[in-house]
């Protein structure tokens, strides 16, 4: 091996190690996924656990205001019960503008959407490492899981002529800029996003 190729090999290894932002944090991808999965499951179970009985008892008109309150409340509750975790839901077509994606969320939304366009298999999860921060309590990674449209969701996210007029009227009153109708069962609806920070012991 000549001098030049040693230099370029060295440069390559420096470059490669720079591409592994996980390296100098104490959280590895396996742990990010474990904590992310736990948080995402808690949110899904919590949302469905509230939505299904409310829909049964009073239909979507009764469930909708609850959804407005319960969605954010549940994400806060789940975030609070798991240290170092913060959960959101986001989509490329939001109902509540507070759930709008940021630049990194948009990049991940595109990854999931292009999988759909190519008929490639939709990823079941996705991890993005965040730029390093001086704050040791700042999140180091984001864990994402897709949210898919089921029959139940069509009551409030289906085609406008499928949604009961009184439900549609309430949606339009509460969310004048709503973009989250027109879905079909099986569609990709959006993402659960879990921001994960190191625990105090790490």
Alpha helices in the chain (DSSP H): 3-18, 29-81, 103-117, 154-157, 165-174
The number of residues that bind ligand HEC (CB under 6 A) is 25
CB of 42 to ligand HEC, least distance (A): 15
Q: Is residue 149 involved in binding ligand HEC (CB under 6 A)?
A: yes
Q: Which one of residues 39, 85, 147, 168 is an interface residue with ligand HEC (CB under 6 A)?
A: 147
Q: Which one of residues 115, 153, 162, 199 is an interface residue with ligand HEC (CB under 6 A)?
A: 153
Q: Is residue 160 involved in binding ligand HEC (CB under 6 A)?
A: no
Q: Is residue 190 involved in binding ligand HEC (CB under 6 A)?
A: yes
CB-CB contact of 28 with 22 (8 Å)? yes
CB of 101 to ligand HEC, least distance (A): 9
Inter-axis angle of helices 165-174 and 29-81, nearest 10: 90
Q: Which one of residues 96, 128, 129, 130 is an interface residue with ligand HEC (CB under 6 A)?
A: 96
Q: Is residue 196 involved in binding ligand HEC (CB under 6 A)?
A: no
CB-CB contact of 185 with 151 (8 Å)? yes
Q: Is residue 162 involved in binding ligand HEC (CB under 6 A)?
A: no
CB of 61 to ligand HEC, least distance (A): 8
**How many residues are listed for the chain in this entry?**
202
Q: Is residue 64 involved in binding ligand HEC (CB under 6 A)?
A: yes
Of 78-86, 113-121, 123-131, 155-163, the segment contacting ligand HEC by CB under 6 A is: 155-163
Buried b (16+ CB within 10 A) or exposed e, 26-53: ebeeebbbebbeebbebbeebbeebbee
Q: Which one of residues 36, 46, 71, 101 is an interface residue with ligand HEC (CB under 6 A)?
A: 71
Q: Tokens 């736990």: give the residue.
A: 38
Helix (H) or strand (E) segment spanning residue 124? none
Can you say how many angstroms the Cα of residue 170 is from the centroid of all Cα atoms in its chain?
A: 26
CB of 39 to ligand HEC, least distance (A): 15
Q: Is residue 72 involved in binding ligand HEC (CB under 6 A)?
A: yes
Q: Burial, 157: exposed, middle or buried (Cβ in 10 Å; 0-12, 13-18, 19+)?
A: buried
From the list 168, 145, 173, the residue with the least C-alpha distance to 40 is 145
Q: Is residue 70 involved in binding ligand HEC (CB under 6 A)?
A: no
Q: Is residue 46 involved in binding ligand HEC (CB under 6 A)?
A: no
Q: What is the largest CA-CA distance in the chain?
A: 77
């Amino acid at each position: 091996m000549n001098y030049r190729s040693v230099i370029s090999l060295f440069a390559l290894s420096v470059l490669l190690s720079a591409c592994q932002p996980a390296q100098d944090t104490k959280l590895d991808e396996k742990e990010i996924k474990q904590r992310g999965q736990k948080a995402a499951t808690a949110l899904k179970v919590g949302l469905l656990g509230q939505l299904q009985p409310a829909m049964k008892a009073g239909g979507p008109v009764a469930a909708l205001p609850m959804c407005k309150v319960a969605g954010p409340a549940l994400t806060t509750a789940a975030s609070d019960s798991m240290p170092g975790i913060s959960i959101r839901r986001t989509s490329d077509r939001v109902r509540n503008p507070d759930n709008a994606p940021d630049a990194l969320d948009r990049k991940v939304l595109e990854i999931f959407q292009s999988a759909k366009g190519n008929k490639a298999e939709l990823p079941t999860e996705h991890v993005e490492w965040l730029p390093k921060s001086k704050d040791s309590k700042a999140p180091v990674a984001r864990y994402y899981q897709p949210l898919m449209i089921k029959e139940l969701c069509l009551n409030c996210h289906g085609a406008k002529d499928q949604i009961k007029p009184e439900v549609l009227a309430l949606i339009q009153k509460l969310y004048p800029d709503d973009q989250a109708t027109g879905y079909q069962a099986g569609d990709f609806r959006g993402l659960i996003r879990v921001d994960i920070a190191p625990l105090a012991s790490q």
